């Protein structure tokens, strides 16, 4: 880390938020600019007592009752408007602490506004359903319906690679459903969450309904797992940590979005004008640090030379470097250590027989966009989640064998296929064991309205406001028996 400090205009609070007050009395940890390595801020880590107090305040808020649904919706709509008011502050913070390019930061804010608006809408139409008792002999006279109630205190543990929108996919539906939230953002990107908390309070969120506790998973994260008053954990991160959370949660409910090795398939009849830019952007944007980034790219043999040439040409146009340069399309990885790991994996692949067709050069935390082929089956760039700007190409002749290969990982978050053949598209949809199968789209396309989640070691439960709000509420059956 460069010991000099980088000044960021409009820096948010660097404390812990409990009941509307920012507390700064814990030990401090640094936040660094991911491109320059210079320190941006010193953030106070929550103490054990502050974690417990945050949960106690949240539980009291739930017990007292949330504002009515229309008021919660108004608060979330105001927050969406305030994101625009604070746009430049958000961009500056995300570019610094997450290494986002200007385009990625702008896209994160645009999507976050949609997530807030969707959550506001879902909160006012959260209803139960009628029960068809007429189907049961002797029960036809009964009237049954369900109601939904807040589940209680929701703990949101969020990742570095989407420090605004993924946070809102947890916080906004939780509050829309009447819950209080204790948020622990990634210690690598704590400032965006702090700024978001300031915005939510400005929008009118009751202070007791949102706490932000800063720190790493081994301390603050583990303390949160010890808090039995937490009713629901929503987590995005590694499968290893997901297992720890699930074990600690016991019978309490959870939603987990975990590891991934995303596959995209290109058949011989694919429209390359459509496919190539989507694949390149999906594999390389945010420096490949997206859980659905295209990592495995299967290409039908008759098309592989043409697609490879076009993909390499496209990747070479994506400038890597300073995220504050408007021309930059691939910024730094989250740390220099992460970039060194990616560089080593690429070097191992080449040593094992792979051909590096472009990119792979490292300068501090920046890796230039890499495209490989002939990657061995045991190469880490093929069989482990890379989380780096690289795409590994593999040709196929046998469609069924290729689908089996795509399924042959512990993970199952998202896959994509480009084809004009309806039979192949439907076979892929039915065969690929992924939470999402995209047809004529890459694995990494996402709309914030859709249900999003994985299977196998990629987790369970769904994000998307209409879906997560139901997971974060309890259903109660009411029966009238005249």
pLDDT value of position 26 = 83
Q: pLDDT band at 2, cuts 50/70/90?
A: confident
Lowest mean pLDDT among 5-14, 61-70, 175-184: 5-14
Judge whether 99 and 332 are in contact, CB under 8 Å: yes
Among 93, 223, 232, smallest CA distance to 174 is for 232
271: how many CB neighbours lie within 10 A of its CB? 12
Judge whether 264 and 415 are in contact, CB under 8 Å: yes
87: how many CB neighbours lie within 10 A of its CB? 15
Tokens of 368: 């230039």
Q: What homologous superfamily does CATH list for 16-258+458-478?
A: Aldehyde Dehydrogenase; Chain A, domain 1 (3.40.605.10)
CATH number (3.40.309.10, 3.40.50.150, 3.40.30.10, 3.30.43.10) of 263-448 reads 3.40.309.10
pLDDT digits (tens, 9 = 90+) for 78-99: 999 999 999 999 999 999 999 9
CA torsion angle 439 443 448 453 (round to 10): 100
CA torsion angle 178 180 185 190 (round to 10): 100
291 catalytic? Reply is yes
Average pLDDT in the chain: 97
Query: How is the chain split into domains, by residue range?
Result: 16-258+458-478, 263-448
Catalytic residue among 97, 291, 385, 471: 291
Tokens of 318: 């994506």
257 catalytic? Reply is yes
Q: pLDDT band at 388, cuts 50/70/90?
A: very high
Judge whether 156 and 181 are in contact, CB under 8 Å: yes
As a whole number, mean pLDDT of residues 240-252 equals 97
As a whole number, mean pLDDT of residues 27-49 equals 97
What is the C-alpha separation between 316 and 331, in angstroms, rounded?
A: 14
Catalytic residue among 198, 257, 336, 471: 257
138: how many CB neighbours lie within 10 A of its CB? 7
- Cβ neighbours for 481, distance < 8 A, ≥ 6 positions apart: 141, 142
Judge whether 155 and 232 are in contact, CB under 8 Å: yes
Residue 470, pLDDT above cutoff 80 = yes
What is the C-alpha separation between 402 and 205, in angstroms, rounded?
A: 50
Residue 143, pLDDT above cutoff 90 = yes
pLDDT digits (tens, 9 = 90+) for 160-171: 999 999 999 999
Buried b (16+ CB within 10 A) or exposed e, 449-480: beebbbebbbbbbbbbbbbbbbbbbeeeeeee
Residue 156, pLDDT above cutoff 80 = yes
What is the C-alpha separation between 71 and 75, in angstroms, rounded?
A: 6
Tokens of 358: 């472009």
Q: Is the Cα dihedral 191, 196, 201, 205 positive or negative?
A: negative
pLDDT value of position 40 = 96
């Amino acid at each position: 880390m460069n010991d000099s400090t980088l000044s960021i205009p409009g820096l948010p609070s660097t404390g812990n938020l409990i009941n509307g007050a920012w507390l700064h009395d814990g030990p401090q940890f640094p936040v660094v600019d991911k491109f320059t390595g210079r320190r941006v801020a010193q953030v106070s880590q929550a103490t054990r007592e502050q974690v417990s107090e945050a949960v106690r305040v949240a539980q009291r808020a739930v017990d007292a009752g949330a504002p009515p649904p229309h008021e919660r919706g108004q608060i979330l709509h105001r927050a969406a408007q305030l994101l625009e008011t604070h746009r430049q502050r958000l961009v500056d913070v995300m570019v610094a602490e997450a290494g986002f390019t200007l385009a990625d930061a702008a896209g994160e804010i645009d999507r976050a506004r949609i997530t807030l608006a969707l959550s506001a809408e879902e909160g006012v139409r959260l209803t139960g359903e009628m029960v068809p008792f007429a189907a049961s002999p002797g029960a036809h006279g009964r009237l049954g319906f369900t109601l939904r109630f807040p589940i209680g205190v929701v703990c949101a543990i969020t990742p570095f690679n989407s420090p605004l929108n993924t946070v809102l996919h947890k916080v906004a539906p939780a509050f829309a459903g009447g819950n209080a939230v204790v948020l622990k953002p990634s210690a690598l990107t704590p400032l965006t969450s702090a700024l978001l908390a300031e915005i939510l309070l400005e929008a009118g969120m009751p202070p007791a309904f949102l706490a932000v506790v800063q720190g790493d998973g081994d301390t603050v994260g583990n303390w949160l797992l010890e808090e039995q008053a937490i009713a629901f954990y929503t987590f995005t991160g590694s499968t290893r940590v997901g297992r720890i959370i699930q074990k600690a949660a016991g019978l309490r409910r959870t939603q987990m979005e975990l590891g991934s090795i995303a596959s995209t398939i290109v058949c011989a009849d694919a429209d390359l004008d459509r496919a190539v830019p989507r694949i390149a952007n999906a594999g390389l944007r945010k420096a490949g640090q997206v859980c659905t980034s295209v990592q495995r790219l299967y290409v039908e043999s008759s098309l592989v030379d043409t697609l490879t040439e076009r993909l390499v040409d496209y990747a070479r146009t994506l400038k890597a470097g300073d995220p504050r340069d408007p021309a930059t399309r691939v910024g730094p990885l989250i740390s220099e250590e992460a970039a060194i790991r990616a560089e080593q994996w690429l070097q191992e692949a080449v040593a094992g027989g792979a051909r590096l067709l472009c990119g792979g050069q490292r300068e501090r935390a920046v890796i230039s966009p890499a495209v490989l082929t002939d990657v061995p089956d045991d190469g880490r760039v093929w069989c482990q989640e890379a989380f780096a700007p690289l795409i590994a190409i593999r040709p196929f002749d046998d469609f069924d064998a290729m689908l089996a290969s795509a399924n042959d990982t512990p993970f199952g978050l998202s896959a994509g296929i480009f084809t004009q053949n309806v039979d192949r598209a439907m076979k892929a949809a039915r065969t690929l064991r992924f939470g999402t199968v995209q047809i004529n789209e890459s694995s990494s396309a996402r709309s914030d309205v859709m249900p999003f989640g994985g299977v196998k070691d990629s987790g369970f439960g769904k994000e998307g406001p209409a879906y997560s709000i139901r997971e974060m509420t309890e259903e109660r059956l009411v029966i009238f028996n005249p």
